A and B are shown apart, each in its own frame.
Chain A
Amino acid sequence: MSSPQALGPILELKELHCVYGKKIRALKGVSLEVCLGEIVALIGNNGAGKTTMMRAIAGQLKPEQGTVNFSGRSIGGMPAHEIVRLGVCLVPEGRRIFPRLSVMENLEMGAYARPRADFKQEYEHVFGLFPVLGERRRQLGGTLSGGEQQMLAIGRAMMAAPKLLMLDEPSMGLAPVIVDKVFETISRINKEGVTIFLVEQNAKRALAAASRAYVMETGQIVLSGSASVLADNPSIKKAYLGLQ
């Protein structure tokens, strides 16, 4: 099996700096790579800058300095909707589905950046990944359970046919059984050829799903490597996995 890294990076951050307001430096020169077909995890404590990095890649935050390249193209500072058009989708922290739009309408909005079509195949694809969404297609998004909302958020992102799917804390606030399901689907989506970059506080889960991982602390990458090696690293075990 050829390693995904041989295929070259699809996403590349170089010396990325992000600042909130004038003073708070959330990212202090972060560099990393995600290669085509990989699942890469980013782990770290609260306030390490993980979400900031996701926001900067997705176009919600202008990097102060440094570059973000996607498929060899610089996307740093582009507006969010244009980045989606290029094939980079972020499932945001806290899901952020549209509560007063129906499940179908939520999914329709996910395909907004694409040329007009009836998207029948795409809907079927999402309902294949998450049958429960198919059963509730007419229901308002806000009436779904937390797990179903997370599925809807992932489904909405899939409607844009992303090449790179980013997920910010997909397990947050979900029951363990549901977390299993979400991670199962993530690896299924990956097998369909979508590159995955995910942020997780649940380091154990993230390291089990990912091929490689980066560890962040106070705005910097402090460790990186293969996920299985990191999972055995004593300091990671202690700091993030709760093992002695």
Chain B
Amino acid sequence: MKRALPLILIAAAAALPWAVQGTGAAHLVRAGGIIGLYMILGLGLNFTLGYVGLFDLGFIAFYGIGAYTAAILAGLGFAPPLTIALAVLSAVLVRFLLGLTILRLRGDYLAVVTMGFGEISRLIINNLDAVTNGPKGLQVPPLRFFGISLSENIYYYYLIMAVVLLSIAASRRLENSRIGRAWVAIREDEIAAGLSGIAVGRLKLLAFCLSAAFAGLGGAIFAYWEQFVTPESFVFWESILVVSIVVLGGMGSVSGVLLGALILSGCPVIMQAVLSPEWINYRYLFFGFILLLVILFRPQGILPSRRREAELLNESS
């Protein structure tokens, strides 16, 4: 049963667009795609926050860099596979340069600097009118493959699902590798890791860059799907949301992060449907309440990784 569960879930996700086709629930395909994008972001951030324990409050900046790179290049007439590759590359490159300078910081200091970087990136995008068209945003032509223009939600739903599966595979593979265990060793005791011969700085940078690759990829897909990008999509709140997804689900746990993304990014959709108009403005209140409950009663996350669970149980005993 345990082995079959992932397959059942994948099959269910794949069948969703067909099941809701033509019904009143057709908007779920779009919601599913958005949840998928958050899954990609969550799994990306999980490399740094989950495995290495680096706090990052400006992660959405790299989603934005990916989205804007794709948008600008598409506007210049570049073809999609190339624009997406360059979007990933530019997110990784910026992340690399940032990491070189700030990764010696730890804990709260790192969180503050990344938060600053996130805001600065957004302000640059907002003010660099000549390149980004400022707050008015940029139009993006829809994805075209082999002469077919893809603008329906359903195409993006499957594209995003494929990328989510790829992210899961990459996460699982790395988690059970020597590198993955070295990341955990760094999280547990940086000094001992260095003394064991682990190149701490280099491995942190690797995790840092890898997480940006996922953000950049997600951002590029987002830009093509929306056919429009504005700085509004990359605000501080989004960074917080991605951090919450990882913390709520369980840091370092792939299935936890997926569930976290489903709950937190699915929440607004559910509340929109369930809550009456006069309550809808309170949705962030409910959202905060849910987070609070999880932190109080399940600090290790809903589906914690085995290691993290051991960590928190030891601390409380």
A interface list, Cβ under 8 A from B: 58-60, 79-81, 84-85, 89-90, 92, 96-101, 105, 108-114, 116, 140, 142, 156-157, 160
Contact = CB atoms under 8 A, between A and B. Distances in A.
11 contacts: A60-B194, A79-B201, A81-B200, A90-B195, A92-B191, A96-B191, A99-B188, A109-B181, A109-B185, A113-B197, A160-B197
Interface in B290-317: 307-308, 310-311, 314
A142 B193 contact: no
B194 A112 contact: no
Contacts of B201: 79
B254 interface: no
Interface of B is mostly: helix
Contacts of A84: 195-197
A116 B197 CA distance: 13
B197 A110 contact: yes
B178 interface: yes
The 8 A-B pairs with the shortest beta carbon distances in the complex, nearest first, are A113-B197, A84-B197, A80-B194, A96-B192, A98-B188, A81-B199, A100-B307, A112-B197
A158 to B, nearest CB: 11
Interface residues of B, number: 23
B310 A80 contact: no
Contacts of A92: 191-192, 195
A142 B309 CA distance: 13
Interface string B187-213: 011011111111111000000000000
Contact of A81 (B178, B184, B194, B308): B194
B196 A109 contact: yes
B198 A81 contact: yes
A142 B314 contact: yes
Contacts of B193: 98, 109
B40 interface: no
Interface string B95-120: 00000000000000000000000000
B182 interface: yes
A101 B178 CA distance: 12
Contacts of B182: 109, 112
A140 B200 CA distance: 22
Q: Which of B192, B197, B198, B201 has the most CB of A within 10 A?
A: B197
A124 to B, nearest CB: 19
B315 to A, nearest CB: 10
A26 B197 CA distance: 25
Contacts of A113: 196-198
A152 to B, nearest CB: 11
A112 B196 contact: yes
Contact of A98 (B178, B192, B194): B192
Contacts of B189: 96, 98
A114 B197 contact: yes
A214 B254 CA distance: 52
Nearest to B305: A100
Interface string B213-253: 00000000000000000000000000000000000000000
